[in-house]
Chain A
Amino acid sequence: MTSQVSSPAEHADEADGPGEALVGGQRQPPGEKEVRQLDRVIIRFAGDSGDGMQLTGDRFTSETASYGNDLSTLPNFPAEIRAPAGTLPGVSSFQVHFADHDILTPGDAPHVLVAMNPAALKANIADVPRGGEIIVNTDEFAKRAMAKVGYDTSPLEDGSLDGYSVHPVPLTTLTIEALKEFGLSRKEAGRSKNMFALGLLSWMYHRPTEGTERFLRAKFAKKPDIAEANVAAFRAGWNFGETTEDFAVSYEVAPAGTAFPAGTYRNISGNLALSYGLIAASRQADLPLYLGSYPITPASDILHELSRHKNFGVRTFQAEDEIAGIGAALGAAFGGSLAVTTTSGPGVALKSETVGLAVSLELPLLVIDIQRGGPSTGLPTKTEQADLLQAMYGRNGEAPVPVVAPRTPADCFDAALDAARIALTYRTPVLLLSDGYLANGSEPWRIPDLDELPDLRTRFATGPNHTLQDGTEVFWPYKRDPRTLARPWAVPGTPGLEHRVGGIEKQDGTGNISYDPANHDFMVRTRQAKIDGIEVPDLEVDDPDGARTLVLGWGSTYGPITAAVRRIRREGGAVAQAHLRHLNPFPRNLGDALGRYDKVVVPEMNLGQLATMIRARFLIDAQPYNQVNGMPFKAEQLAAALKEAIDD
């Protein structure tokens, strides 16, 4: 999925079934086995939580990225660190979709399922279309393990997999055999079976291998024996594919060169892109970065990442709770840092009083919410978009806050810079709404040149800004910039600007405590006007066919919505598409843009929060289309729903 590519491709990129994925002829490679050309493949690695499926998927993705395919990933794992072994709730999976062209989603249905145990097979088989390839680790299909997940008879033998292309492979046995010389126990050697599987899949899809070998040697640098054992298992898997007759065909998916604008690329996840965006914002603003945070899934990776980059002047403070996380950030903002707090939905609830204080203090502050399933603890490792109204309205009093949402993993970088721009220019807390799908998913990213990055430098107040009637020059902490309505940022240490801020209503200008009714009315309206006046780019509507129906999205639904729109257009349907980066304030032209369509459909991973905002604001009968199952939309399903709305 590339955020840079906006034109609808002609490829059948989100279509289902391995058959459709086959294009071009067959060619005879130098080796003896047949090689087929594919335009795209979706692979799902599934196993027990302890089987290392996330690592396996990550490595396959890295190889695929460095090969130059476009790609999109969907890690899916339980909240428990180690759920009971061999059970359905303990299944962890990683889906990767890669192609020789521009793609938008991790794919609806895998062409290939790697099932490391009966639970993994049972939990995932329903997603695999008939004809799909299934690689199973037969060593784990013992009677007891099968009974544990409700298989009375072996699915490998009872004909229930007849419609699929099944490759039974004793992965554990083969791995142990391959590692005989390493003097490891059977249990230890068996642990490398995920690397065997990775080697096999790497052979099947002609993935480069050097990166993984380098990675394993670095990861186990302190245990060279284990490093070499894993490399040996990886190579054994590759060689197994090359020699065994069960795998007669291998596949090539050519690099997606033409889908990408020229540049240097890397693979990046949403949380990593967001972390880099924050560091970049700090450099562009020439302000030290300060993160106050409390660990919470799925946001903790940003804390981990930023804490590794202290040589950029980044201070990370792991607080005693969510409230202290944002409190420390606000204190640092008062002192002149670019201040950030990171969290997920429950943490936003705890921070809301401090966000309100930041609204009153009018200091720059980034509040990053990596949304997850709610309410309460909800589904910590699953994705959802149900914090939009919390971000908009979840505070006491009239406390407007700008809301920014990235649309793809790589876009988290740009969204972080944009959120920093707004916070610094308008001296306000900003809520950035990412989610679990963006946070953990990854895609290729064109690495920007540093001189492409926006200039975020801001000015601290240095002297008096107001002349009293008697001619005295004074500093008024709440005297606003007439254009942005931002107040001056006077940091401690600046002589002559000593002043007091606080959560009690301020008198306009002087910033003194004021209980005057007219002043309060004025200040409430002024704070609102400041947020309403934030400059955001106009909404772009993609409508090549003069459609009557517009589909409007925000955040991480960009990929699935765009894929669904492409499907409809491919089939001759007309639908317009627009996607919001700014939820508050809305783009100036939003009302006009929506008004041009007979129908506006709003797909969201919640029960209709943006739809509610659109209806309330524009009196437009926006139709919600909602899914709250912890997973991203599937393109096919979404296309069907949109088609229904268009035809209705």
Chain B
Amino acid sequence: MTEAASALLSLVPKAEAEQSMKDFKSDQEVRWCPGCGDYAILAAVQGFMPELGLARENIVFISGIGCSSRFPYYMNTYGMHSIHGRAPAIATGLASSRRDLSVWVVTGDGDALSIGGNHLIHALRRNVNLKILLFNNRIYGLTKGQYSPTSELGKITKSTPMGSLDAPFNPVSLALGAEASFVARTVDSDRRHLTEVLRAAADHPGTALVEIYQNCNIFNDNAFEALKDKDQAEEAVIRLEHGQPIRFGPGGSKGVVRDPATGDLTVVEVSAETESRILVHDARSATPTTAFALSRLADPDTLHQTPIGVFRSVERPVYDSLMADQLDAAIEQNGKGDLGALLAGNDTWTVVG
């Protein structure tokens, strides 16, 4: 982490006493459906927060509308359950006016990518200091089962009895295209991996987008079963680790290489001949090209070859800091604002009574 990055993160005060998971549980009864993937994510976040050691009162969770957006009620921090799609905009106002806060956005695939798509991409390009947790269950849960912007083409739902006509978004591709400085993907059921990704996101100065594959056991059960089922997972999951060759499959028997003809990425069996060509994951690459190619690697039907982990993590100027710097620069250049002088302006005349 650069000095500027750690300086930014150090603006949030530390907790005075050691914290436990219990400190982050609010007194509200959790009301998700039994078996919902959101429980696992909540537990992971509550379990991870003490590790940050931040003053609880300086942590804020802001959400939109949807099942996932009930999240702030269950965190014993400051929180706002706002309106559909607008959480990134609201969080931008809070984060850019209060750099002493650790601001987290909790959103879903409908909230972030449909009604709130515009706010999401603009938060990413500005690089506001926000951590956005996008719970992707590929369905509308709260409205009881319509297809979402990440549902697969042809999906049969209540609103698409003959199959969905919409080509889905790939949230990681979208975020990379929107100039995101940090993009990661993880899975609700893999608490260790989820925690690792949260840790990396929390350490990132700027907007961090974390897509979390989350199971909706009521309206879209087992959507990510390929990544969870022991028999398939080895074939399906590619764990990205910065600086490590991208290998997966039984005993790491498969690897990702660059096709010299097209520049695209493909999967090969690892052999003496191919081993030296296996791509080494570089999340800090100056360009998002390879991260984007990785985001397109998964088979959209079977989800085989789905990379999880941090796709991209680069440092670039953070909006909140730039804004604060301009305020400082304005005072340096013009002195602290003098209201009397401002109101008077340059052209006045006096009337004597």
Question: A-side interface residues toward B, CB under 8 Å?
Answer: 62, 65-68, 211, 255, 257, 260-267, 276, 279-280, 283, 288, 290, 292, 309-315, 317, 319-321, 323-324, 327-337, 339, 353-354, 356-357, 361, 447-448, 450, 492-504, 512-513
Contacts and interface: CB of A to CB of B under 8 A. Distances in A.
7 contacts: A211-B347, A262-B352, A266-B344, A311-B333, A334-B60, A335-B101, A448-B343
Contacts of B26: 500
A214 to B, nearest CB: 9
B138 interface: no
Given A279-B339, A312-B339, A361-B80, A512 B90 contact: no
Nearest to A66: B347
A465 B340 CA distance: 39
Contacts of B76: 498
Interface stretch (B50-58, B187-195, B221-229, B267-275): B50-58
B89 A323 contact: yes
Top 5 nearest A-B pairs by Cβ distance? Answer: A262-B353, A502-B81, A331-B93, A328-B93, A327-B89
Interface string B342-353: 111101111111
Given A320-B122, A361-B80, A265 B343 contact: no
Nearest to B345: A266
Interface stretch (B204-212, B256-264, B322-330): B322-330
Contacts of B340: 450
Nearest to B344: A447
B5 interface: no
B351 A263 contact: yes
Contacts of B86: 323-324, 327, 354
B94 A493 contact: no
B89 A309 contact: no
Contacts of A493: 13, 55, 57-58, 98, 100-101
B93 A332 contact: yes
A4 to B, nearest CB: 11
Contact of B98 (A447, A492, A501, A503): A492
Contacts of A257: 351-352
Nearest to B320: A315
A499 B60 CA distance: 10
A31 B257 CA distance: 92
A447 to B, nearest CB: 5
B339 A280 contact: yes
Give chain A's interface secondary structure class.
Answer: mixed
A311 B327 contact: yes
Interface in B256-305: none
B321 to A, nearest CB: 13
Contacts of B140: none
Contacts of B352: 257, 262
B119 A324 contact: yes
B348 A335 contact: no
B347 to A, nearest CB: 5
B93 A492 contact: no
B347 A65 contact: yes
A257 B79 CA distance: 57
Nearest to B319: A317
Contact of A276 (B80, B343, B348): B343
A332 B80 CA distance: 12
B80 A500 contact: yes
Contacts of B81: 500-504
B97 interface: yes
Contacts of A65: 347, 349
A255 B352 CA distance: 12
Interface in B212-234: none
Contacts of B119: 320, 323-324, 327
B65 to A, nearest CB: 8
A263 B350 contact: yes
Contact of B118 (A211, A276, A312, A321): A321
A309 B342 contact: yes
Interface of B: 13, 26, 28, 55-60, 62, 65, 72-73, 75-83, 86, 89-98, 100-101, 118-119, 122, 323, 326-327, 329-331, 333-337, 339-340, 342-345, 347-353
A264 B326 CA distance: 33
A168 B331 CA distance: 52
Nearest to A259: B351
A23 B331 CA distance: 52
A437 B327 CA distance: 32
A335 B98 contact: yes
B350 A495 contact: no
A280 B344 CA distance: 13
Nearest to B28: A512
Given A279-B342, A280-B339, A335-B98, A290 B348 contact: no
Given A309-B337, A321-B118, A492-B57, A339 B93 contact: yes
B78 A311 contact: no
B327 A315 contact: yes
A447 B339 CA distance: 11
B343 A447 contact: yes
A255 B336 CA distance: 36
A498 B327 contact: no
A502 B80 contact: yes
A330 B87 CA distance: 11
Contacts of A264: 344, 348-351
B77 A292 contact: no
A313 B330 CA distance: 9
A447 B351 CA distance: 11
B175 to A, nearest CB: 16
B94 A334 contact: yes
B57 A320 contact: no
B97 A335 contact: yes
A65 B351 CA distance: 12
A51 B343 CA distance: 31
Contacts of A330: 82, 90, 93
A621 B343 CA distance: 43
Given A494-B57, A500-B26, A317 B93 contact: yes
Contacts of A315: 96-97, 323, 327
A454 to B, nearest CB: 14
A265 B351 contact: yes
Contacts of B89: 319-320, 323-324, 327-328, 331
| Highest count of chain A CB atoms <10 Å: which of B13, B60, B89, B329 | B89
Contacts of A313: 327, 337
Contacts of A494: 57
B343 A280 contact: yes
Given A257-B351, A314-B327, 15 more contacts: A262-B352, A266-B347, A266-B349, A290-B97, A315-B323, A328-B92, A328-B93, A331-B94, A334-B90, A335-B97, A335-B98, A492-B59, A493-B55, A495-B57, A500-B72
A324 B57 CA distance: 25
A503 B83 contact: yes
A327 B350 CA distance: 43
A492 B78 contact: yes
Contacts of A62: 347
Nearest to A284: B339
B97 to A, nearest CB: 4
A68 B349 contact: yes
Contacts of A329: 93
A132 to B, nearest CB: 29
B93 A292 contact: yes
B336 A331 contact: no
A283 B342 CA distance: 12
A321 B91 CA distance: 15
Contacts of B118: 320-321, 324
A491 to B, nearest CB: 8
A258 B12 CA distance: 58
Given A324-B86, A353-B83, A66 B97 contact: no
A23 B231 CA distance: 101
B179 to A, nearest CB: 13
Given A310-B326, A311-B335, A331 B91 contact: yes
A328 B327 contact: no
